[in-house]
Structure 1
Amino acid sequence: MVEKPFFSIVIPTKNRPELLRDAIQSVLLQSFTEFELIVSDNHNDAATKEVIDSFPEDGRLRYVRPTDELNMLDHWEFATCQAIGRYVVLLTDRNVLCQHSLKKIKRVIDTHKDINFISFGTKAFLEHQNKFGTRSTTGKSRMYNSKELVDNFKGAIYYSSGSLDFFAPKTINSCYKNEIAQKIRREKGSYFNLRGVSTPDYASFFVNTLMDQQCYFLGDTIMLGQGASVSNGSNFAKGDTSYFKTLGANYELHASLADVPFIYNCIYNDFIVIYSYWGKQDFPLTFNYDIYFANLLLELMIKREAGASEEICLSFEKSVQQAMIEHGFSEKKIHEITELANGCFMKDRSKTNMFLKNWKIHFKDFLFHRFNDNKLLNRIFKYKYDSILTAAGFDYYKALR
């Protein structure tokens, strides 16, 4: 291991051995080699340790394990506290780094020497079809002002085209300077698991914007994600709230206006908790509560589309409607907010809009299904891949080792 590595790549893992294998390989095959790789085993079954032991001995790879099984927030805190590198990248066990990713991030840091947080593009990989999904986060590289990102969070539908959500430094899509996290821990006790928060990714985004006035977005695909079916966030979006049970006493939703277990409600709650904790008392005055309730209604529509039971959806809908009435919203205002949410939902799913957003993928779909036996065409257009590692740019035979 490098004595003081430039990067610490931290992989917290829990019972996803085959996905973990890809994550580890994507780090060990990086072209930039000044890193340590920490795999934190959150009391997994034996198969996880077998995956780690299957790799040749490498001084850069460290295996750690907490004394007791931890919830996700505590585990992220434990795992990242082991890091000694200058910058930390948290890589969940279902994600992989693309080839040359560390080299690209290092180039940004060399250019912007005082930057503390770098967010970057991500892309979904459909491992059962061996191709990319339709949503990806890329764009023009640029510096974002922290206030701009927070104001956008407070005033935009976070699934809409006007949202800057994808560009915000949320740890799962970003790299942070280790000394900043250490400073937060000295002052506040922890980085990820402040009491009352439930979303380690968004909670870290709010903390990051309080610690620095700017963040750099690297407009390139740095990370690929697979295993959406086992993602806490994806299952939560479908109405599965079992994640909350793992948080125990740490989970509180008292800051939210509506008592519904929604992703956006948790994010809003964490925003209030963290800004209160930092002594920022003026923020509620500028929060757009029309947008808050529109986001809840939009998420309800998404849950229905994803197959959540109608009984649960009706219960959630009643709770949101009741909360709007309790906060003084007129019948007309409630109708306007509902129409705003419905408009965003329909626009995002319109055939024309979906085609324009993903025309390259649709074009590849057409070519592949029209000429699916043409290997040369597939090689040119890179429609299908042998694995997520080859999609990430690694040599197929090296990735198999």
Structure 2
Amino acid sequence: MTAETKHQGPLVSVIIPTYNRPDYLKQAIASVVQQTYTNLEIIVSDDCSPEHPQPIIDAFQDARIRLRRNPTNLGIGLNATYAFKEAQGKYVASLNDDDLWCPDFLEKLVPPLEADPDLALAFCDYFIINSEGTIDAPATEKQSCREKRHQLQAGIYRPFWELGLIDRSVFAASAALIRCEAVAWERLQEAGVFWDYYISYLACRSGQGAYYCPERLACYRIHAQSENMTSGNRNAQAKIRKGKAGIACYESFMADAPNPKLRKYFEREWAYANTTLGIGLLRANQAIAARPYLLRSLQYQKLNLRTMVALALSFIPQSLASPFLQMRNVFAEHSNHL
């Protein structure tokens, strides 16, 4: 791609949802500003952080960056949704405020979409980095294998339901570029903390294809304050958010599943999300509210130990149940779940 092409290419909208991570936010914005593809608008969407991010944006002195700030905290799903709705570009990409792009991320992903109007998105592989930004090579390889990108060849996949929603090869939060008109953005608010996974679903249901670039062009940061880490540990409210979002997502997926294999998978994950919500409610001392979700889950996975133990604990005094609810070997999230 020549310098002239970079400047004359279509407008790309970059969404950076953020909340209370100013140091990471600076790094995320810098990785977008330094893109070799330059026809950008950068929308930093702040969910009412205690520290106003405007000084961070002003320090870049880049007219392509603008801030939208919620007057109250809305949660990550709505914060991202409202930013996507403001996007003016032909293509749109999001970047978590704690993640990074390599300089040629957009340069590599725009051309496939320009070449084929029947593509909904282009996506790539990515590195795993730690809290300090150092690449974790073993974790990177493990993640690529877990999400089955290691066996993908460069090129077009159509349809990509299984690749996007079962293998989860598409990381829409930080490693994909999406054709703006291919996604019904108004539906994104249904997904809560799974907003990025829901983008993959909305792109799949468009009927269009996905292009895969096997290069690692983004960096996903693993650290103690991320939503995935807190929901997998002992944070009751994070687990409740995760359970509610999973139920909403999989109910939509089941309704649109194009074949029995996908529907069966979505039903199983829906049941798992009901258990997650039930466990979150138990940890929040809401045993009665938890039971209907645990019972619903057992309708689809009758011999699931995780669900059966949680249901049993809902019938004993909280003082006796609490130690068991903290047992990670019983209630930890398994690795295939978001």
Alpha-carbon distance, 1:319 to partner = 9.4
Q: Which residue number corresponds to residue 229 of structure 1? A: 224
Q: Which residue number corresponds to residue 180 of structure 1? A: 182
Point out the more displaced range, 126-135 or 228-237. 126-135
Secondary structure of 1:118's partner?
strand
Of structures 1 and 2, the larger Rg is shown by 1
Establish whether residue 104 from structure 1 lines up as the match of residue 108 from structure 2: yes
Quote the Cα distance in structure 2 between the aligned partners of 1:150 and 1:227. Answer: 23
TM-score, normalised to structure 2, is 0.69
Q: Which of residues 234, 245, 250 in structure 2 aligns to 1:271?
A: 250
Q: Which residue number corresponds to residue 188 of structure 2? A: 192
Q: Which residue number corresponds to residue 288 of structure 1? A: 264
Contact 1:141 1:216 in 2 (8 A): yes
Establish whether residue 36 from structure 1 lines up as the match of residue 22 from structure 2: no
Alpha-carbon distance, 1:125 to partner = 0.7
Quote the Cα distance in structure 2 between the aligned partners of 1:21 and 1:15. Answer: 12
Contact 1:203 1:267 in 2 (8 A): no
Secondary structure of 1:216's partner?
strand
Q: Which residue number corresponds to residue 51 of structure 2? A: 46
Structure 1 residues 114 and 294: CA distance shift in structure 2, 3 A: closer
Structure 1 residues 97 and 169: CA distance shift in structure 2, 3 A: closer
Could you tell me which runs of 5 or more consecutive residues in structure 1 were left unpaired when the two chains were aligned.
154-163, 248-260, 301-307, 349-401
Q: Which of residues 13, 21, 26 in structure 2 aligns to 1:21?
A: 26
Contact 1:126 1:133 in 2 (8 A): no
Contact 1:97 1:223 in 2 (8 A): yes
Quote the Cα distance in structure 2 between the aligned partners of 1:102 and 1:54. Answer: 23
What do the CA deviations read for 1:299-319 (whole angstroms, capped 9, x no partner)? 99xxxxxxx9xx99xx9xx99
Amino acid at match of 2:264: N
Quote the Cα distance in structure 2 between the aligned partners of 1:85 and 1:113. Answer: 15
Alpha-carbon distance, 1:10 to partner = 1.0
Alpha-carbon distance, 1:213 to partner = 3.8
Alpha-carbon distance, 1:16 to partner = 0.4
Alpha-carbon distance, 1:22 to partner = 0.4
Q: Which residue number corresponds to residue 89 of structure 2? A: 85
Structure 1 residues 149 and 43: CA distance shift in structure 2, 3 A: same
Quote the Cα distance in structure 1 between the aligned partners of 2:102 and 2:200. Answer: 23
Structure 1 residues 29 and 240: CA distance shift in structure 2, 3 A: same
1:124-135 to 2 correspondences below 5 Å: 124-128=128-132, 130-135=134-139
User: Over aligned residues, Cα RMSD in angstroms?
Assistant: 4.2
Q: Which of residues 187, 191, 204 in structure 2 aligns to 1:209?
A: 204
Point out the more displaced range, 10-19 or 135-144. 135-144
Structure 1 residues 121 and 281: CA distance shift in structure 2, 3 A: closer
What do the CA deviations read for 1:131-182 (whole angstroms, capped 9, x no partner)? 32533335432322335517972xxxxxxxxxx21x236344321111223x
Structure 1 residues 3 and 147: CA distance shift in structure 2, 3 A: closer
Alpha-carbon distance, 1:35 to partner = 1.1
Amino acid at match of 2:28: A
Establish whether residue 8 from structure 1 lines up as the match of residue 3 from structure 2: no
Quote the Cα distance in structure 2 between the aligned partners of 1:10 and 1:124. Answer: 21
Quote the Cα distance in structure 2 between the aligned partners of 1:71 and 1:232. Answer: 11
Quote the Cα distance in structure 1 between the aligned partners of 2:199 and 2:154. Answer: 21
Quote the Cα distance in structure 2 between the aligned partners of 1:151 and 1:38. Answer: 26
1:292-303 to 2 correspondences below 5 Å: 292=268, 296=272
Q: Which residue number corresponds to residue 143 of structure 1? A: 156
What do the CA deviations read for 1:336-366 (whole angstroms, capped 9, x no partner)? xx9xxx9xx9xx9xxxxxxxxxxxxxxxxxx
Identity %: 17
Secondary structure of 1:242's partner?
helix
Could you tell me which runs of 5 or more consecutive residues in structure 2 were left unpaired when the two chains were aligned.
1-6, 309-328
What do the CA deviations read for 1:364-395 (whole angstroms, capped 9, x no partner)? xxxxxxxxxxxxxxxxxxxxxxxxxxxxxxxx
Structure 1 residues 107 and 293: CA distance shift in structure 2, 3 A: closer
Contact 2:10 2:89 in 1 (8 A): yes
What do the CA deviations read for 1:35-71 (whole angstroms, capped 9, x no partner)? 111112221233533222222x222111222343322
Quote the Cα distance in structure 2 between the aligned partners of 1:3 and 1:112. Answer: 18
Amino acid at match of 1:180: A
Higher relative contact order (CA 8 A, sep 6+): 1
Secondary structure of 1:135's partner?
helix
Structure 1 residues 43 and 92: CA distance shift in structure 2, 3 A: same
Quote the Cα distance in structure 2 between the aligned partners of 1:294 and 1:273. Answer: 10
Quote the Cα distance in structure 2 between the aligned partners of 1:151 and 1:103. Answer: 22
What do the CA deviations read for 1:2-41 (whole angstroms, capped 9, x no partner)? 8995211111111100000000110111111111111122
Secondary structure of 1:211's partner?
coil
Contact 1:120 1:218 in 2 (8 A): yes
Contact 1:16 1:48 in 2 (8 A): no
Amino acid at match of 2:251: I
